[in-house]
Amino acid sequence: MKRVIYLFSLLLLIGCGNKPEKAVVAEVEPVVIEPRIEFGFPVDSLTRIEGTIQNGQSLGTLFNTLGANRQSIHQLSTIHDTIFNVRNLRANKPYYAYYSNDSLAILHHFVYIESPIEYVVFTLPDSLRAYRGKKEVRSELRTAQATINSSLWNAVVGAGLDIQLALKLSDIYAWNIDFFGLQAKDSFTIYYEELFVDSQSVGIGNIHAAIFTHAGKPYHAYYYAYDNKQGYWDEQGNSLKKAFLKAPLQFSRISSHFSYSRKHPVHKTVRAHTGIDYAAPAGTPVMSIGDGVVTERAYKGGGGNTVKVKHNGTYTTAYLHLSKFGPGITVGTHVKQGQVIGYVGSTGTSTGAHLDFRVWQNGQPINPLKLESPPVEPIPEIEQQAFDSVRQELHQRLLQ
């Protein structure tokens, strides 16, 4: 509804002692006042109230409380699940109700806020219909840094940064840095996107560049895309991806190292432990460290639920004491690097939830922490000049 206001000025020019001259009419450009839009509909003539979904509250009950007509309440069952499953109303989620700004106060719109970005609009009162919408997300480029004293997680939180940065950094450097062996004074600097809806931060976008210093050595990461490939590369254009991940799970601690003379925590005898124990909460996803084929998937006595993966003619890995197996994991299954093959548990001979991770090279057990992993293909020569230009610009951003 546009309001157009025309303003006219009448200027009478009267000379000293002379008769008034002819009036001059000046026409001013019309001022157009745009309607105020919220969630895709005009709200100038509506009154809004805010509320929060209560425990056990159904959408029908809420509509009745808000004064919706009976027809609209009955039509809730006709809303297709692809738009909104009315049974999925979640407690503590905010909502807005819009009423006509008159004595009748008729409910015209109901907006359910699923997330800071997504919402569902129900229009009333004539015939109920619903549609999904998203708020505009904007990004701001930021640079941040932190020093690690205990863990990457604590360093990110201590620096007042979004915890998603810890997850993204662990993904970027999963092939190069053992996050269970971080040292005091390790540090990182990152250049990244933070996402906002209105003035509220809603998450982290892409990390464009990072330098992670571990044990005094800087590990560079620069995001670059060409053809149908994208990823992170070091300063020479080598891919940070390797054939094997550094560890099969995220954010835990090593509770027992590779040893040929460890005292068994249950049997109390000294025997070889040709693997690495990662203490982690039960149910933590366990990933295959590389592409391969599942050769065993069974309960294996003291090892409990075990998955063994043959990666190539040289390397085989095993994952023991799992609480359960990953979806679709059977003998003969081809798995990809990072695919969930099981979940941390305490099956078999075990004193608590942990993962016993083992590696064999040419049939002989080796220390998983010393596993050498070849990189994938580097930046091709034809792309090197373009990559160097992007890398130099990103590096300058890191130094700002």
Distances (CA, A) of 299 to 303, 308, 320, 322, 348: 7, 11, 9, 9, 8
Say yes or no: 270 and 366 in one domain. Answer: yes
Q: Residue 242 — pLDDT band, cuts 50, 70, 90?
A: confident
Between 352 and 25, where is the model more confident?
Answer: 352
- Mean predicted confidence (pLDDT) in 374-399: 91
- Amino acid (1-letter code) at residue 235: E
Domain of 151: which CATH number? 3.10.450.350
Indicate the average pLDDT of the chain.
Answer: 85
- Amino acid (1-letter code) at residue 371: L
Between 21 and 228, where is the model more confident?
Answer: 228
Residue 147 is predicted with a pLDDT of 95
Of 9-23, 194-208, 218-232, 271-285, least confident by mean pLDDT is 9-23
Say yes or no: 190 and 112 in one domain. Answer: no
Strands (E), 85-159: 94-100, 107-113, 118-123, 129-134, 138-148
User: Is residue 243 within 8 Å of 228, Cβ to Cβ?
Assistant: no
* Helix extents (H) in 150-214: 152-158, 164-172
**Domain-ending residue, one of 94, 114, 134:** 134
Say yes or no: 258 and 366 in one domain. Answer: yes
Q: Which of 293, 168, 179, 173 is nearest to 242 (CA)?
A: 173
Q: Residue 273 — pLDDT band, cuts 50, 70, 90?
A: low
Tens digits of residue pLDDT in 196-228: 998 889 899 999 999 999 989 999 999 999 988
User: Residue 23 is part of which domain span?
Assistant: 3-33
- Mean predicted confidence (pLDDT) in 77-96: 88
- Mean predicted confidence (pLDDT) in 129-145: 93
Distances (CA, A) of 243 to 161, 176, 332, 373: 31, 11, 20, 6
Tokens of 265: 């925590």
**Domain contains 352:** yes
Residue 26 is predicted with a pLDDT of 59
The position carrying tokens 């450097």 is 173
Whether 6 has a pLDDT exceeding 70, the answer reads no
- Mean predicted confidence (pLDDT) in 140-150: 94
Distance CA 113, CA 120 (A): 7
**Domain contains 385:** no
Say yes or no: 274 and 335 in one domain. Answer: yes
- Mean predicted confidence (pLDDT) in 169-192: 88
Structural domain count of the chain: 4
Say yes or no: 84 and 144 in one domain. Answer: no
Residue 1 is predicted with a pLDDT of 39
Between 3 and 87, where is the model more confident?
Answer: 87
Residue 20 is predicted with a pLDDT of 52
Say yes or no: 209 and 315 in one domain. Answer: no
Distance CA 373, CA 348 (A): 30
Say yes or no: 156 and 229 in one domain. Answer: yes
Whether 177 has a pLDDT exceeding 60, the answer reads yes
Residue 73 CB neighbour total at 10 angstroms: 17
**Domain contains 399:** no
Tens digits of residue pLDDT in 33-74: 778 889 989 988 999 999 999 999 999 999 999 999 888 888
Say yes or no: 258 and 351 in one domain. Answer: yes
Distances (CA, A) of 295 to 2, 146, 318: 71, 42, 10
Between 320 and 350, where is the model more confident?
Answer: 320
